[in-house]
Amino acid sequence: MSIELQGVTKKFGDTVAVNNVSFSVREGELMALLGPSGGGKTTVLRLVAGLEMPTAGDVFIRGRRVNDLSVQQRNIGFVFQNYALFKNMNVFRNIAFGLKIKKWKRARMQARIEELLKLFGLEGLERRYPHQLSGGQRQRVAIARALAPQPSVLLLDEPFGAVDARIRQELREWLVTLHHDLNVTTVFVTHDQEEALEVANRIVIFSGGVLEQVGTPREVYDQPANEFVARFIGAMNVLEAKVREGVARIGELEFPASGEAEGQQVRVGFRPYAVQVSADLTRYRYHAVLQHTFFLGVLLRLELELPSGLTLRARMTKEDYAQQGLEDGRRVSFQIRQYRLLAGEAAALGPEAELQPETPPVLGDYI
Amino acid sequence: MRAAPLEVMTTFFPGKRGTAPRAAQRGVEESSLAKWTLIGIALVFCVGFLLLPLLNVFAQALAKGGAHYWRSLTEPDSRAAIRLTLMVAAICVPLNVLFGLAAAWAIAKFEFRGKPFLVTLIDLPFSVSPVVAGLMLVVLLGQQGFFGEWLAAHEIKIIFAVPGLVLATVFITFPFVARELIPVMQAAGTEQEEAALTLGASGWQTFWHVTLPSVKWGLIYGVILCNARAMGEFGAVSVVSGHIAGLTETMPLRVQALYEGATTATTAAAFAVASLLALLALLTLGVKSALEWRQARAERIAASGAGQR
């Protein structure tokens, strides 16, 4: 294990920022700490770095308990949200800072810096000052500076937060490539679930200082541990339904819910991609009006209004949409392939249920 | 950093461009009228109230000829006054650099109760009349003062002696360094320091290589202002000095003593000492401008060097 937290709690006065958190990061992993702002993820990163000291619990780096080690002794590389480049030093001296402190020999230092400049595409910018660099260049300098003294782990706080959306995507891909090439254990903090899903090998999800789930992007998406995770990772339709005769009903929609008590109020969740939409009204069981289409790129988001007044979100590819000749205001038929009965926020979730395709109703028949 | 106001200027006065619409151009002309009016007022004010009196000081100082000017400055009491002024400044400035750094550091980098009170306290010397400041010291440390008996018993003389002058000057000049540093340090935040720590730097290395350079200009301005005031302070120093010629007379006090001599010779001598004081102030300003110019040039060279590669 490269990094391990055991029952770590951090309090600031009366507020508990991190509450009894345990997880570990494997050697060479690219791990995301994900959660809404105020979830405690940055505090966890700072606890690993030694910029904060835990109120309770232990932090290990490469098997060694580091609670009593100062930030200088932990041999970590830290990249701050706004990069925190030394404004009075040029690119070369920024990267050289850690090496000078560690008293590297001149020739070795020169070689290391040249290697990093090349790796990070910063050649020719050595003499520039931070204010003469673009956002992306600043970020690369910050990472090069953190990596220069060959730290055992690289920690990044919201690495893509301070750049504009256009280069964010580029930087994400670049970080994945860099991690692949260097194979340094890397932990980064983000509030953007899409970013975590795309970049990380594994994700730790926090909310309110509590660890909600640890898993691969696939695991947290397909098998969310609880309702918070289910709703935080990816979009989800959530409906309040009432159980009658073993079926959760809301408006015209029905979801088999065997095992739930008669008259019980339940919440039903399903992902937009689980909603299949067809222009052919005889194709699927339910009918709706396509209210609005949001163009998100290759995927489109559809808003459906049911006769009962319910609105649902669906996903569809651009080609499928064009092929079917869909447009706003059209009547469509749809079905929900997979759904999940949601318990309370903290309770564990059962597996996703598959719905058998049902015979479509007679045209014009709504239920 | 200093380019920011310039940018504001250019947006207000975008200059005359052939392509600009007529309405916009009329706007430009109106604001350029305002611009020149304001510049004119500032210029007239500066010349009338600053430059002319300053030139008059030099003219009066040299009214009795160069030899008299030189004699006025080199007679023993004047030499002692010059020496004392430089010494008081040399003690006060380093002390206030230390105090200012400590106070600004505490205010900018830490959160604690009573912080607004501390900020107010730092401003106190600005709001209190210097004469009152001097009197406070007399009441506290003078012969009939609070610590007077104890000091007399231990044969420590503060009031009407050099230590009193130093104390009064330190009190008066305290806010200059701290006031300049606080906003600069607050703007810099703590991230750069934390970055240095994660790279293995000790607290002292972080202060020396990261904190100090990032507040360098604030510190230099603070020192220049502090120094100028330390040499020029009159009120507080006058109360605690006792006006003993050759012993506790600083240059401003010497100027007044000579001026009160009220003969043409002493008046010219007063202006001679005053002109030296003014020269010291001009020298300080010159040093400040030179440093600014060097900094700007270093940045320009770094920028153009980077551009060529």
Does a structural domain hold residue B23? no
Kindly tell me if the per-residue pLDDT of B23 is higher than 60.
no
Beta carbons of B195 and A72 less than 8 Å apart? no
pLDDT at site A304: 94
Does a structural domain hold residue B35? no
Question: What's the pTM?
Answer: 0.75
Mutate to test the interface with A, among B190, B193, B198 (most CBs of A within 10 A): B198
Beta carbons of A78 and B303 less than 8 Å apart? no
pLDDT at site B1: 37
Which of B195, B197, B210 lies nearest to residue A72, judging by beta carbons? Answer: B197
Min Cα separation B107/chain A (Å): 20
Beta carbons of A78 and B195 less than 8 Å apart? yes
Q: For residue B67, give every residue at least 6 positions away whose Cβ sits within 8 Å of its Cβ, in sequence order, or none.
A: none
**With bands split at pLDDT 50, 70 and 90, how would you rate the model's confidence at B265?**
confident
Min Cα separation B204/chain A (Å): 12
Kindly tell me if the per-residue pLDDT of B4 is higher than 80.
no
pLDDT at site A214: 95
pLDDT at site B27: 52
The whole domain housing B123 covers 62-308
Q: Which residues of A touch B303 (CB under 8 A)?
A: 128-129, 132
- Check if the beta carbon of residue B151 is closer than 8 Å to that of residue B137: no
pLDDT digits (tens, 9 = 90+) for B73-118: 898 999 999 999 999 999 999 999 999 999 998 898 888 888 899 9
Does a structural domain hold residue B34? no
Q: Which of A33, A60, A122, A115 is nearest to A85 (CA)?
A: A122
Q: Which residues of A touch B200 (CB under 8 A)?
A: 72, 98, 101-102, 149
Q: Which residues of B touch A90 (CB under 8 A)?
A: 302
Does a structural domain hold residue B46? no
Q: Which residues of B touch A72 (CB under 8 A)?
A: 197-198, 200-202
CATH number of the domain at B291, please: 1.10.3720.10
Q: Which residues of B touch A153 (CB under 8 A)?
A: none
Residue in the block written with tokens 């009170």: B117
Residue in the block written with tokens 């008081």: B88
Q: Which residues of B touch A84 (CB under 8 A)?
A: 191-192, 194-195
**With bands split at pLDDT 50, 70 and 90, how would you rate the model's confidence at A351?**
low
Kindly tell me if the per-residue pLDDT of B245 is higher than 90.
no
pLDDT at site A266: 85
pLDDT digits (tens, 9 = 90+) for A231-242: 888 888 888 888
Which of B200, B202, B303 lies nearest to residue A132, judging by beta carbons? Answer: B303
pLDDT at site B20: 43
Beta carbons of A72 and B201 less than 8 Å apart? yes
| Most distant CA atoms of chain A, gap in Å | 82
Provide residues of B within 8 Å CB-CB of chain A. 188, 191-192, 194-202, 205, 209-210, 213-214, 216, 299, 302-303, 305-306, 309
pLDDT digits (tens, 9 = 90+) for A8-34: 999 998 899 999 999 999 999 999 999
| Alpha-carbon distances, residue A237 vs A212, A272, B34 (angstroms) | 20, 7, 61
Does a structural domain hold residue B81? yes
Domain count, chain B: 1
Beta carbons of B192 and A84 less than 8 Å apart? yes
**With bands split at pLDDT 50, 70 and 90, how would you rate the model's confidence at B28?**
low
Mutate to test the interface with A, among B199, B209, B297, B304 (most CBs of A within 10 A): B199
Give CA–CA dist A25/A31, Å, rounded: 7
Give CA–CA dist B302/B307, Å, rounded: 9
| Alpha-carbon distances, residue A179 vs A174, A175, A188, A307, B9 (angstroms) | 9, 6, 12, 51, 46
Give CA–CA dist A81/A161, Å, rounded: 7
pLDDT at site A343: 63
- Residue A48: closest CA among chain B residues belongs to which residue? B198
Does a structural domain hold residue B183? yes
Beta carbons of A145 and B214 less than 8 Å apart? no
- DSSP codes of every residue in chain B: -TTHHHHHHHHH-----TTS-HHHHHHHHHHHHHHHHHHHHHHHHHIIIIIHHHHHHHHHHTTT-HHHHHHHHHSHHHHHHHHHHHHHHHHHHHHHHHHHHHHHHHHHH---TTHHHHHHHHHHHHHS-HHHHHHHHHHHHSTTSTTHHHHHHTT---TTSHHHHHHHHHHHHHHHHHHHHHHHHHHHTTHHHHHHHHTT--HHHHIIIIIHHHTHHHHHHHHHHHHHHHHH--HHHHHHH---TTTT--HHHHHHHHHHT-SHHHHHHHHHHHHHHHHHHHHHHHHHHHHHHHHHHHHHHHHHHHHH-
Provide residues of A within 8 Å CB-CB of chain B. 49, 51, 71-72, 76-78, 80, 82, 84-90, 97-98, 101-102, 124-125, 127-129, 132, 145-146, 149
Kindly tell me if the per-residue pLDDT of A262 is higher than 60.
yes
pLDDT over 90 for what percent of chain A? 55
Kindly tell me if the per-residue pLDDT of A165 is higher than 90.
no
pLDDT digits (tens, 9 = 90+) for B32-66: 888 999 999 999 999 999 899 989 988 988 888 88
pLDDT digits (tens, 9 = 90+) for B204-214: 999 999 999 88
ipTM reported for the complex surpasses 0.90: no
Beta carbons of B194 and A77 less than 8 Å apart? no
Q: For residue B193, give every residue at least 6 positions away whose Cβ sits within 8 Å of its Cβ, in sequence order, or none.
A: B109, B206, B210, B211
Does a structural domain hold residue B47? no
Q: Annotate B136-175 with b (16+ C-beta within 10 A) or e (fewer).
A: bbbeebbeebeebeebeeeeeebbbbbebbbbbbbbbbbb
**With bands split at pLDDT 50, 70 and 90, how would you rate the model's confidence at B5?**
very low
Does a structural domain hold residue B185? yes
Kindly tell me if the per-residue pLDDT of A149 is higher than 90.
yes
pLDDT digits (tens, 9 = 90+) for A44-98: 999 999 999 999 999 999 999 999 999 999 999 999 988 999 988 999 999 999 9
Q: For residue B118, give every residue at least 6 positions away whose Cβ sits within 8 Å of its Cβ, in sequence order, or none.
A: B103, B106, B107
